[in-house]
Amino acid sequence: MSDTGRFDQAAKDWDLEDRRVILARAVAAAIRARVPISNDDSVLDFGCGTGLLTLELAPLAGSITGADTSPGMLEALAAKAPVARILLDPGKDPDLGGPHSLIVSSMTLHHIPDVPGLFRAFARHLRPGGRVALADLDTEDGSFHTDAQGVHHQGFAREQVIAWLREAGFGDARAETACTTRKEGRDYSIFLALGTKD
Ligand SMILES: C[S@@+](CC[C@H](N)C(=O)[O-])C[C@H]1O[C@@H](n2cnc3c(N)ncnc32)[C@H](O)[C@@H]1O
């Protein structure tokens, strides 16, 4: 089955796993604590899934759009709230609309083969001075996913993410600990990478 098909299948029961809901809330809190969001902001949630992070931030923003390659995930989001959605083609450079003032993402970067290319796409879809706030796993030993299909990175070294962001035009890129997530008795550290488009 394709990676997209697997997420389509998972969409119906995605929110039933408390760990995912708790993680999205913790990431949203980490973003809110570091990035002011107002009703002047156009926010894009990249790899939004069922919108767990999208809907946490929606009340703060002027507009919010969820983008994902999985039609099933976007349908699950649409069933919860009438937010704007973009269905992405997994084989193409992402057309993220905009320009946006903030791009957020949670737990999607490790599914992306070409993360430096994605960061360049983020820069193209942001207004001057636009920001990114991107959460994902710190480097892990591969135990986070029981099935590694579609997993292109076993977490990330923060220095690598920062370097890729700087190369893409986010000169002030930095990364901090957002939270931890507990899965099958193990704790995994989650970073939040932040940057402003030069
Ligand atoms: C682990 S889920 C995270 C979903 C959501 N952000 C959350 O925290 O619940 C990863 C999401 O990334 C999406 N995804 C995978 N590859 C993608 C790509 N190339 N572009 C955009 N989204 C992608 C999947 O369909 C899935 O919804």
pTM of the model: 0.98
Enclosing H/E stretch for 46: strand 42-46
pLDDT at 2: 86
What gap in Å lies between CA 138 and CA 88, rounded to an integer? 26
**Which of helix, strand or coil describes residue 88?**
coil
Q: Would you say the CB of residue 54 lies under 6 angstroms from ligand 1?
A: no
* CA 107 / ligand 1 centre spacing (Å): 7
Q: How many domains does the chain have?
A: 1
- The residue whose CA has the least distance to atom 25 of ligand 1 is 70
Q: What's the token pair of residue 70?
A: 């999985």
Does residue 1 register a pLDDT over 80?
Answer: no
Choose one of 69, 88, 188 to mutate for the ligand 1 pocket test, by most ligand atoms within 8 angstroms of C-beta: 69
Domain containing residue 38: 3-196
Does residue 3 register a pLDDT over 90?
Answer: no
104 touches 163 (CB < 8 A): no
47 touches 111 (CB < 8 A): yes
pLDDT at 91: 87
Average pLDDT over residues 146-159: 95
pLDDT category of residue 132 using cuts at 50, 70 and 90: very high
Taking each continuous run of H as one helix and of E as one strand, the counts in the chain are 6, 7
pLDDT at 84: 98
- Find the CATH number of the domain harbouring 86: 3.40.50.150
Q: Closest ligand 1 atom to the C-alpha of 27?
A: 8
* pLDDT tens sequence across 13-23: 999 999 999 99
What gap in Å lies between CA 159 and CA 163, rounded to an integer? 6
Q: Would you say the CB of residue 90 lies under 6 angstroms from ligand 1?
A: yes
pLDDT averaged over every residue in the chain: 97
